[in-house]
A = this chain, B = another copy of it.
Amino acid sequence: MKKLNTHIQKDMIQRLVRYKNALQKFKSMGLTRVFSDNLGEAAGISAALVRKDISLARLTVGNKRGGYPIDALAQGLDSILGTHTQQHVIIVGCGKIGTALMHYPRFSSESIQIVAGFDNHPDRLAPDALIPILPMSHLSAFIKEHDILVAILAVPEHAAAKVFDQVVAAGIQGVLNFAPVQLKPTAHLIVQNINIAFEIENIFYGVRFNQSQ
């Protein structure tokens, strides 16, 4: 992977990922060139910021007048974001949500491969399945042995903090957390918390707020 310019910040990386996804969609629709207005609209980012990002990331190909050539722009983004290699992920907690994610059809098209699940319930274990479900006692060794960098946590609230510490100690560098606990990122640990009940509560508050206006 090409070394990133130091002036490319994390927020920008998030935006570059959005551009990349939007470009893929434009391409699948048969487009060959795209204007910053449309790219911004698809990515939910202002056209001015799109142009600034493209300039800062030194992706400036083509001119603004005719729009950006999609293929060249996508290649430039790939060289910054890294090529699309297989992304190995484990799932800790194989209840309903964990199991649903284990077989989530969308992952395969994004090169995301769930390589194993881990659980404490003896009747959930399936060591010989295509995606094996292994006991928690194997978790740390598996992460180290297979160089796993990213884990999905779908454990109950009471187990989340302990499991989090365990996977981080074993070498995990990125966590997608579905447990209803706010796990904290550090300088070298990416954490994304998805609290589904909280999201629905927020939607209800927003709806009531709209109704009260």
Contact across chains for B106 and A196 when beta carbons are under 8 A apart: yes
A162, CB-defined interface residue at 8 Å? no
A157-186 vs B: 1/0 string, CB under 8 Å?
100000000000000011110001010000
A137 to B87, CA, bound (A): 39
A138, CB-defined interface residue at 8 Å? no
Q: Interface residues of A: mostly helix, strand, loop or mixed?
A: helix
With A197-B110, A200-B89, A204-B87 in contact, is A212–B182 under 8 Å at CB?
no
Chain B nearest CB from A13 CB (Å) reads: 6
Q: Bin the interface of chain A by size.
A: 35 or more
Tell me which of B21, B100, B196 contacts A96 (CB under 8 A). B100
A174 to B42, CA, bound (A): 21
Chain B: CB-nearest residue to A150: B203
Contact across chains for B192 and A207 when beta carbons are under 8 A apart: no
A74, CB-defined interface residue at 8 Å? no
Q: List the B side residues contacting A202 at CB < 8 Å.
A: 14, 17, 192
What are 29 A-to-B residue pairs whose CB atoms are below 8 Å? Answer: A1-B212, A4-B213, A13-B205, A13-B206, A13-B209, A17-B198, A42-B182, A81-B205, A87-B200, A87-B204, A96-B104, A97-B100, A97-B104, A99-B100, A106-B197, A110-B197, A110-B200, A112-B200, A149-B207, A150-B200, A150-B203, A150-B204, A150-B207, A173-B207, A173-B211, A174-B206, A188-B210, A192-B203, A194-B199
